[in-house]
Structure 1
Amino acid sequence: MNQNFDIIIVGGGAAGFFTAINIVEKNPKLKVAILERGAEVLQKVRISGGGRCNVTHACFVPNELVKYYPRGEKELRGPFHQFCSGDTIEWFEKHGVELKIEDDGRMFPVSNSSQTIIECFLTATQKLGIEVLTGQSVQSIFNPEVSGDKLWKIETQNENYIAEKLILATGSNPKVWEMLQTYGHAIVSPVPSLFTFNIKDSRIKELPGVAAQVTVKVKDTKLTSTGPLLITHWGMSGPAVLKLSAWGARILHDKNYQFTIFVNWLNDIETTEAEKILKDLKQEHAKKSVSKKSHFDFPNRLWESLVLASGIEGETKWADLSKVQLQNLSNQLTKGTFQVNGKSTFKEEFVTAGGIDLKEINFKTMESKLHENLYFAGEIVNIDAITGGFNFQNAWTSGFILANAI
């Protein structure tokens, strides 16, 4: 028995729900269903942002917003002029969810709970009569151009569905990518994008939880990033590292996650300037012990560790520092070399670089350039962003544009 719909959306995540709601709000006559392979919908929304759901980012200028997307920067410029972060805030407010801006620009529901977003979506789909069907893992997709029929046919393990238009919002689902390849779509092979660096190093071994504002560079590449760095039990994390992992997703994958980084713990102070500052400190604090107090904007424990790594013993006084020790210390502060050996990814922040080749999508409608009535929303395409609400913004924008087009 075939189940007939005007539109079938495969994928019960953020992009799938947002698209469905916007379509039916614009055209209540359409019969729309969301097919979700799992037993639960909106799972990624639930765990994102530590269970608070980082809905978007307080960056309201499209040409600025695109700069947070290592893949998709050029393609998203037009779409963001149609639906940007400000529109997201307005959309959620209209649907009864107020958002707030945190100091770092990330935006969350005022309730601080992702459940608010989930309930907003579930309430809207119920009210609009959108069918949400769980436990529907798509096994095959039949293209109308092939079958000679005017309709898409979707087979799950226990049902057959027929629809005039098919929207794929399946995120980084390799099985769906494979199906699309059989229809001639090119898939950019997926690699992890947001990950932390595994580093075993005596300088940071005892310092999990310590954070500093830094600049990090990857040796023999142009990759560089500035921002907060967090020392963890495994190595290094925090926005500076995650940003680097996003921009360097392909490069670092090709290096098999074995590479060298330089950390400037003084952020934008270069080595010669650091040496000058240290010489002044030597004059000023001659009788005091070097390792006692950090004179920079990071914790004492990190300072002690870097002093020790510069070959300066525990009770050494500033006055007794040799020229070589001063040089060593300024090097440790401004270009500490660390060996990265592998990566760690965390499920809730996990993002994949890769997906449908962007050249094969019409970004005015989100329709496939190869097949009529086939559309894409969210992370299924080769677009990804750094952490901070940007990946969700791509889901909302693509869903909105798609809904308008339909």
Structure 2
Amino acid sequence: MNTYSEAISWIHSRLKHGINLGLARMEWLLQEMGNPEKKLKVIHVAGTNGKGSTVTFLRSILNESGYDVGTFTSPYIETFNERISINGYPISDDDLIELTRIIKPLAEELEKGEWGPPTEFEIITAMALYYFGNIRQVDFTILEVGLGGRYDSTNIIRPLAGIITNIGKDHINILGDTIGKIAYEKAGIIKEGIPLFTGAKQEEALSVIREETEKKQADLFQLGSDFSIENNESVPGGEKFTFLSKELTYENLKVSLLGRHQTENAALAVVSLLYMKEKNLLQLHEKDIRAGLKKAYWPGRMEVLQDHPTVILDGAHNTEGLEAFLSTMKERYREKKIKVIFAALEDKDLSHMLPLFKKINAQVTFTEFEFPRAASATKLKEIAQIEDAAIENDWCSLTKRMVNELNPEDVLAVTGSLYFISEVKPFIVGLLRGRY
């Protein structure tokens, strides 16, 4: 394993093992690596949508407070290395090569045993935990759950705090087809005596979460009762809001991510860090909270690549994500001519997602991209049942034409699968900079 391309190629070769939930392989790997996870101070973030944004709010506030923070997130938008980052900066190619050298022989040994081969996600999770524990030690580590929670490979840790952003119907073929079943899987991150903060709203989900926290004797802090948001206002370049808890109020907080849902993610970050401050786990000042929220940046989430004409990227990859995207578009760009390019994976809940486009006055074009589970443009239009929607198989030529034909009053939004967004973003950035 001498080059970056060799390391990435080997990691991606694990994709053939698919999704195989369970913790036995992680337990074996980490034990062989000296249990680096036991050295870490972890905040664990689960949920259907908003995990990545919540992670970046947490990280940004902690950075403002002077702490070094490691983050583990997925998928990546711009570079694979960003999945394992410190203070917002992806690890180096050399570090990734070194991590691969360490874990490859262990993975090959594990493959011969009773639990079988580790998946790609398990490999990357173990690499992140080893990196933060042994190679580049940090003050805090923030882990984003990959899928569900209960049997996700990140659930090998005992955190300082757990966060469940929200609950929606995603990955129903794996997690279950009801909000209650999905909530049960996500509530699996709740540990004995460890506080849990949630932005979930449905009573079906909350009853499951309450039952789990009571069983584990864990404190529960719920958006809308234990802390809340008021005076949300869309302003140029972001959102403004007031955060309220039972102890304090912060007025005129600002985030640079677009959409009301981002204020909820920000509130989750704030309330969990304030709790940790109260327990003397960290130092935190109001100015750090304000600066951290404003500076937080997360690619591919209502990301404005250009103004006048406006070009936006957003990973609206499930029903709740698409609803948030459409709501933000209607609120911010109601006077504009909206054009949408959309591609998705076929294992998403497309029958509920796609008809949502009827709620917005927009020119919608369905397209497709090279990915094992990508839906065809034709299938997307059939499911959407939007007669005047267009279809075009070649997203590259479609995007180039639509960007070049934009008028000052137009807004072009490219949305759908995060895997699609990660493929499209460098191309659009190149277009806007005149490379193509």
Q: TM-score, normalised by structure 1?
A: 0.24
Q: Which has the higher helix share?
A: 2
Larger Rg: 1
Q: Which has the bigger relative contact order, CA under 8 A and spacing at least 6? A: 1
